[in-house]
């Protein structure tokens, strides 16, 4: 019991302690340790796992025994370390004291400054996909056809394109707001509005828009889409409330054009671009529909009657002109009679009945 055997394999190393104080390293081999009072302790650690984790790491580092055996990192609050083992990315280290054995595996360490909020690196994709990356990085993704508006400590920094981005945790307060740049439709339906002549209409409007200025769309209001919806409602009420029903129905294109102009101007103030806007439906109350149908029916009947009378007048005027022309030209009258007789003769059998004296002579002379 005075001696105890310590076996250290070729890929291991022993950490020797006496009364809790670090004494040094024990190389690979078989070692007999004289310890009659049981004050000796040897912690055998494997170098196949390069990261040396020990509760007395600070004492071991200060002894200087790791100078040519391990990479020692003492990271300050503004520093982070990127660790590669055997050419493969391993992890990101937050502030603290670390040691990596370098004798058994290839270890490469890169210390970076975390005072620059945004993290960029040539091996960015491999780094952010590592298991512990989320512990020290805020990782954000901007989808296709979107834009990301970046704020650091509440101040605008930049607008980024689709892709993956990362910012250091426990540093500056970074925030990315994703904005959809695709064309969107805003359907404003069932708006009951009273006209200037006290007729209640129900209107449906449709607005197609997209984000033209992501920063303004994020900062000008708490929700650009909701603000545009409210502006469409107000524009409809302002346009319809200032017009009578007949004016609205008579010139719907002018109402739609003015509506689109008002909406486009207000949308531009919050970073939106209106692609198209218009009034889709104008729905009248049931009794107003019946009344307008009767008015339309009466108007069409009057128009039809006017057309008939106009045609009758034109026909009578033509007949009067013909009669006047025939009265002034007896020869023309005779030719007209011959044409009539010719049509009668060609269309059927002609029977001539002579019942008056002298009529035969006149017919012969006519023929």
Contacts of 336 (CB under 8 A, 6+ apart): 326
DSSP 88-117: EEEEEE-SEEEEEE-SSS-EEEEEEETTSS
Considering the chain, what percentage of its residues have pLDDT values greater than 70? 88
Paired tokens of 158: 């930049």
Positive or negative, the Cα torsion across 154, 158, 163, 166? negative
pTM: 0.67
Q: Three-state DSSP class for 335? A: helix
pLDDT surpassing 70 at residue 243: yes
pLDDT 10s digits, 180-203: 999 999 998 888 888 888 888 888
Contacts of 12 (CB under 8 A, 6+ apart): 28, 44, 45, 46, 47
pLDDT surpassing 90 at residue 1: no
Q: Which of 43, 38, 45 lies closest to 19 in space, CA to CA? A: 38
pLDDT 10s digits, 348-363: 665 655 555 554 565 5
As a whole number, mean pLDDT of residues 309-317 equals: 82
Average pLDDT, the chain: 85
Q: HSE (CB half, 13 Å, CA atoms) of 90? A: 18
Q: Which of the given ranges, 20-24, 97-101, 225-229, 319-323, has the highest pLDDT on average?
A: 97-101
- Predicted pLDDT at 87: 93
- Predicted pLDDT at 61: 94
- Predicted pLDDT at 271: 92
Distance CA 69, CA 308 (A): 114
- Helices 252-268 and 224-241, packing angle to 10 deg: 150
Distance CA 187, CA 181 (A): 18
Q: Which of 136, 107, 106, 144 lies closest to 119 in space, CA to CA? A: 136
**Residue of 366 and 232 predicted with greater confidence:** 232
β-bridge mates for residue 201, sequence order: 193
pLDDT 10s digits, 132-178: 898 899 999 999 999 999 999 989 999 999 999 999 988 788 999 99
Rounded to 5 degrees, what are φ and ψ at 229?
-60, -45
pLDDT 10s digits, 192-236: 888 888 888 888 899 999 999 999 999 988 888 899 999 999 998
Burial 257-282 (b: 16+ CB within 10 A, else e): eebbebbbebbeebbbebeebbbeeb
pLDDT surpassing 70 at residue 265: yes
**Residue of 300 and 254 predicted with greater confidence:** 254
Please measure the distance between the N-terminal and C-terminal CA atoms of the chain and give it in whole angstroms.
166
Strands 79-85 and 21-26 turn out to be: unpaired
Distance CA 202, CA 253 (A): 17
Q: Report the topology of domain 184-284.
A: Tetrahydropterin Synthase; Chain A (3.30.479)
pLDDT surpassing 60 at residue 364: no
Between the alpha carbon of residue 39 and those of residues 52, 117, 295, the distances in Å are 23, 49, 114
Q: Which of 239, 235, 241 lies closest to 196 in space, CA to CA? A: 241
Domain ranges of the chain: 1-42, 47-115, 133-180, 184-284, 285-328, 330-367
Distance CA 157, CA 179 (A): 15
């Amino acid at each position: 019991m005075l001696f105890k055997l310590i076996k250290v394999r070729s890929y291991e190393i022993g950490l020797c302690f006496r009364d809790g104080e670090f004494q040094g390293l024990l190389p690979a081999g078989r070692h007999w340790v004289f310890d009659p009072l049981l004050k000796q302790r040897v912690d055998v650690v494997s170098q196949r796992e390069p990261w040396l984790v020990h509760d007395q790491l600070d004492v071991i580092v200060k002894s200087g025994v790791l100078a040519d055996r391990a990479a020692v990192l003492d990271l300050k609050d503004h520093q982070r370390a990127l660790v590669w083992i055997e050419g493969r990315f391993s992890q990101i280290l937050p502030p603290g004291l670390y040691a990596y054995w370098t004798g058994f595996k290839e270890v490469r360490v890169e210390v970076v400054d975390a005072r620059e909020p945004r993290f960029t690196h040539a091996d960015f994709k491999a780094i952010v996909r590592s298991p512990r990356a989320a512990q020290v990085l805020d990782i954000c993704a901007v989808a296709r056809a979107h834009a990301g508006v970046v704020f650091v400590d509440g101040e605008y920094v930049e607008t980024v394109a689709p892709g993956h981005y990362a910012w250091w945790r426990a540093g500056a307060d970074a925030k990315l707001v994703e904005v959809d740049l695709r064309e969107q439709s805003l359907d404003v339906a069932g708006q009951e509005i009273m006209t200037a002549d006290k007729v209640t209409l129900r209107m449906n409007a449709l607005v197609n828009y997209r984000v033209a200025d992501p920063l303004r769309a994020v900062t000008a209001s708490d929700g650009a889409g909701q603000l545009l919806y409210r502006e469409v409602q107000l524009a409809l009420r302002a346009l319809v409330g200032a017009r009578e029903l007949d004016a609205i129905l008579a010139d719907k294109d002018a109402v739609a054009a003015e509506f689109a102009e008002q909406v486009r101007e207000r949308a531009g103030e919050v970073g939106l671009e209106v692609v198209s806007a218009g009034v889709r439906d104008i729905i009248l109350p049931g009794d107003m529909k019946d009344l307008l149908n009767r008015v339309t029916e009466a108007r069409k009947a009057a128009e039809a009657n006017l057309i008939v009378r106009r045609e009758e007048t034109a026909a009578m005027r033509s007949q009067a002109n013909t009669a006047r022309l025939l009265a002034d030209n007896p020869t023309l009258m005779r030719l007209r009679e011959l044409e009539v007789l010719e049509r009668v003769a060609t269309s059927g059998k002609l029977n001539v009945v002579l019942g008056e004296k002298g009529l035969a002579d006149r017919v012969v002379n006519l023929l």
